[in-house]
Amino acid sequence: MTSNKITIAVDASGGDYAPHEIVKGAVKAAQKYKVDIALVGRKAILEVLVSHYWNRPGISIVAANQAIAFDEHPVNAIRGKPNSSIVVGVNMVQQSEAAAFVSAGNTGALMAAALFILGKIEGVERPPLCSIVNLYPTIPALLLDAGANADCRPRHLLQFADLGGIYARYVLDIEKPLIGLLSNGEEDTKGNHLTVESHKLMRQSKLNFFGNIEGHDIAKRTVDVIVTDGFTGNVVVKTVEGLGERFVRLRRYRRSLAPSSLLGGQALAQEVGQESLVKGMDYREYGGACLLGVKGNIIAAHGRSQAAAITNAIGLAIRTAEQQVSDKISQEVSPHDSAESDS
């Protein structure tokens, strides 16, 4: 960690496949991206696992002898387990020992730790999870909030739009991101109480606001940034994932009946379009969601992440850290207008 390379801290105790798949994904990421990776977790087992890899430059181990389970209450867990991988990892970001922290562990605990240890950026009320929607492989879009805030107010959605715009600019390289509000109708007046009021705020704002979009606009990539509350966002992201998984399973079954050697090369090549859509529906491809609006770069990876997903989540963490997203948000986020109604 004395090199000039950035260091990404990775939670080796969080997720369904920890620690083995996390270590595998981290070793791969260190090679692929030429970064330093600090594996945070139980030292003894991590040393055994890491020693298994011949080529492991850039991998270090940081001891954290506690782990937070999936069903633990987030706030209680981070208070009661100061030596948990999540608390230690977030602390590394706070101490600038790591440029970002990636965890496939308890997302609630990760968010709570980020809020308590790093704190919110001034002007940000409710940090959202920003997910990558990758249905067009060359031009991903963003969806936020993907699950951090189940109940939201209109001003929160306005702020998600602002934060998503900043993330799209720096991480997706979109100069003037187009923002859409997810609703149940495209007309301005369509929606539930939350979206109708949010629409008005967005229309009045300086955002590059497209207006309402509907569910079918997600697959059409009508906008660069899809804004919604954390409940709807979570349901939508998981619905897409679930369909993607089912496609992958059907394809596997199909291939077990007809191995690729039996399929003509042409038929296989023509599959590419559908393949990329299925890939885009797969959380393993984008790897993680970024928690926006806290003082540090935090990536929540999927609980079921295996090595490839962890490698991709680390890639997202690197891009987020290199673009100094957290700092950019501090500088650019529109201050919360406290005069606004609390509706």
Q: Give the tokens for residue 322.
A: 């290199």
| Residue 105 in contact with a second copy, rule: CB under 8 A | no
Binding track, positions 165-204, relative to a second copy; x by CB under 8 A: -----------------xxxx-x---xxx-x---------
Query: Please, which of residues 258-277 interact with a second copy by CB under 8 A?
Result: 258, 262-264, 266-267, 270-271, 273-274, 277
Residue 317 beta carbon to a second copy: minimum distance, rounded to whole angstroms: 24
> Any residues with CB less than 8 A from the CB of 335 and at least 6 apart, and which?
122, 123
Length of the chain: 343
Q: What is the longest distance spanned by two Cα atoms in the chain? A: 67
Tell me the β-bridge partners of 36. Answer: 7
> Any residues with CB less than 8 A from the CB of 19 and at least 6 apart, and which?
12, 13, 39, 41, 42, 45, 46, 49
Of 117 and 300, nearer to a second copy (C-beta) is: 300
Residue 303 beta carbon to a second copy: minimum distance, rounded to whole angstroms: 11
Query: Please, is 205 exposed, middle or buried when counting C-beta atoms within 10 Å of its C-beta (0-12, 13-18, 19+)?
Result: middle
Name the residue with tokens 């990758």. Answer: 134
Q: What is the 3 state secondary structure string of 33-93?
A: HCCEEEEEECHHHHHHHHHCCCCCCCEEEEECCECCCCCCCHHHHHHHCCCEHHHHHHHHH
> Any residues with CB less than 8 A from the CB of 127 and at least 6 apart, and which?
111, 114, 115, 120, 148, 291, 292, 293, 294
**Alpha helix segments (H runs only) across 136-227:** 154-171, 193-204, 216-220
Binding residue for a second copy, selected from 32, 76, 235, 327, defined by CB under 8 A: 235
Binding track, positions 213-232, relative to a second copy; x by CB under 8 A: -xxxxxxx-------xxxxx
Query: Please, which of residues 129-168 interact with a second copy by CB under 8 A?
Result: 135, 147, 150-151
Of 30 and 178, nearer to a second copy (C-beta) is: 178
Residue 235 beta carbon to a second copy: minimum distance, rounded to whole angstroms: 5
Residue 284 beta carbon to a second copy: minimum distance, rounded to whole angstroms: 14
Binding residue for a second copy, selected from 68, 78, 157, 281, defined by CB under 8 A: 281
Binding residue for a second copy, selected from 97, 188, 241, 332, defined by CB under 8 A: 241
Query: Please, which of residues 64-103 interact with a second copy by CB under 8 A?
Result: 71
Q: Give the tokens for residue 273.
A: 């379009």
Of 116 and 231, nearer to a second copy (C-beta) is: 231
Interface residues with a second copy (CB under 8 A) are 71, 135, 147, 150-151, 182-185, 187, 191-193, 195, 214-220, 228-232, 234-243, 245-247, 250-251, 253-255, 257-258, 262-264, 266-267, 270-271, 273-274, 277, 281
